[in-house]
Amino acid sequence: MRLQAKLTVFSAVSKIIILLVLILVLPTLVNQVALHNADVRLQDKEARMYQIIEEQGIDSFITEETGDAYGSYNLLKEEFISLEEISSGRVHNTIENSLRKVENDIVEYRVLSSTFDLGGKRYLLEIGRSLATIGDNSQALQHYALYFLLAVVLLTVFVDLAFSKILLQPLTTIIKRLQRIEHPTTFTPKKLKTSTDDFLYLNNTINDMMGQIQEAFQKEKEFIGNVSHELLTPVSILQTRLENLLADPDTPEPLLVKLVDNLRTLHRLKSIIQALLLISRIENEQYLKNERVDVPQLVNEVAEEIQERAEAKDISLSVQLTGDFVFIPANHSLLFTMLFNVVNNAIKYNKPSGTITVAGNAVAKGYQLCISDTGVGIAQDQLPHIFSRFKRFHAPDGESHGLGLPIVQTIARFHGVALTVQSELDKGTTFCFTFPQRI
């Protein structure tokens, strides 16, 4: 998962967890707030009642007609005010829940009780508000608070997503640049437009590292050129001298046998050097991929070239191709070497009167080419090592130097061709190449 996605998921999950916790404690919090507001409202009404009594006198509430008490309820019984004369010993100054009977209905109120002395008498003032009304207000507050929290969470998630996208844009730029690098020599150092010191340090570090890698590759190219000259030249000189001695009629016959053995050794040494140089040059991108290669036509060229070797070993070579496919960009010579080595191994490791089948067909996103033989096969424990250099498995001619399949793998990687191998001991081996479709 990408860093931006991780940050967004973490932000969203953390906010959702906080939201769930708030939802759990929200009813209690809102109820407490509603009760507090109700208490404040009751205290305000108490102050207003004292102001009215001070201005109009107690007689405006308690008269001979009303007796020693006064009571008033609103139409829906949501609120009430009562005022009555009490004995001097009773003192009240509380706010609490209380049940009251109103017209044969039992209603629970939040009641403020307060006592005061006036004209040598003590009075009890009670102001109540229905708990059902407070509960309705509490539920309304809960709904509004829930909607508000959801809106805040969604808004902050989108804000975090946008901010993280802007913040991580330099990192995205660095990643895209690295993904476009097919070879170190194609890398071009660039400055990064950002004010974040961490990204600037990362970009500068990558630029410096790639510069060192480019320098190392350049030195390796120069080394390969020197090796090709310093090794192949003396080998060729020795080979020429030995061939001259071999052609001399005065050379003794016992010496001729030794000369032939030495020439065979020199030829093998030359082949090893050329194979290693070929692998190194391919890995260092010293070959161009600027050709259009018709894969079915290339297979026919390989089959025609190697047909005589197959006939000499009494091996039947069958080519079964369907469809057309042009592979671009590519290097025709390298692809020819790749297929030639595989078919040549199929001949070398085949059984007498064996068969080799080269089958090709179009697949979903390219072209698949499989080369199957009826040879000795490869043990399952040896399959992971067949592309290792200088690994030789039962070479029948004793001349193999274990570099044929490493060359095949190197060329396939160079062209982005997928290579798979299936084999069963004493039954045969199948190499499959999948050439990707490129536009």
Q: For residue 157, which phi and psi values (nearest 5 degrees)?
A: -65, -45
Amino acid at 374: T
- Rg of the Cα atoms in the chain: 47
* Least confident range of 206-210, 214-218, 337-341, 405-409: 214-218
Kindly state the average pLDDT of the residues 238-259. 82
Kind and range of the H or E run holding 99: strand 93-102
Tokens of 318: 């069958």
pLDDT at 373: 95
pLDDT at 142: 79
pLDDT in tens, 158-191: 887 788 888 888 888 888 888 887 777 778 888 8
Kindly state the average pLDDT of the residues 258-276. 81
| CA distance linking residue 79 with residue 48, whole number of Å | 15
Q: For residue 348, which phi and psi values (nearest 5 degrees)?
A: -60, -40
pLDDT in tens, 293-323: 999 999 999 999 999 999 999 999 999 999 8
pLDDT in tens, 147-167: 888 888 788 878 877 888 888
Q: Where are the alpha helices (DSSP H) in 168-189?
A: 169-179
438, pLDDT greater than 70: yes
> What 3-state DSSP class applies to 411?
helix
What is the pTM for the complete model shown? 0.54
pLDDT at 2: 67
| CA distance linking residue 143 with residue 139, whole number of Å | 6
HEC secondary structure over 254-290: HHHHHHHHHHHHHHHHHHHHHHHHHHHHHHCCCCCCC
pLDDT at 84: 85
Alpha-carbon separation of residue 361 from 244, 323, 346, 386, 428 (angstroms)? 51, 6, 20, 26, 21
For residue 254, say if its preceding peptide bond is cis, omega within 30 degrees of 0.
no
| CA distance linking residue 201 with residue 374, whole number of Å | 58
Short-list 389, 274, 293, CA closest to 333: 293
Q: For residue 68, which phi and psi values (nearest 5 degrees)?
A: -95, 20
Kind and range of the H or E run holding 158: helix 131-167
> What 3-state DSSP class applies to 320?
strand
Alpha-carbon separation of residue 223 from 56, 268, 281, 415 (angstroms)? 113, 22, 11, 24
| CA distance linking residue 379 with residue 402, whole number of Å | 17
The overall average pLDDT reported for the chain is 84
pLDDT at 252: 83
Better-predicted residue by pLDDT, 425 or 219:
425
Ranked by mean pLDDT, which of 92-106, 134-148, 375-389 comes out on top? 375-389
Better-predicted residue by pLDDT, 94 or 65:
94
Kindly state the average pLDDT of the residues 208-234. 78
pLDDT at 64: 65
What percentage of the chain carries pLDDT values higher than 70? 92
pLDDT at 397: 52
369, pLDDT greater than 90: yes
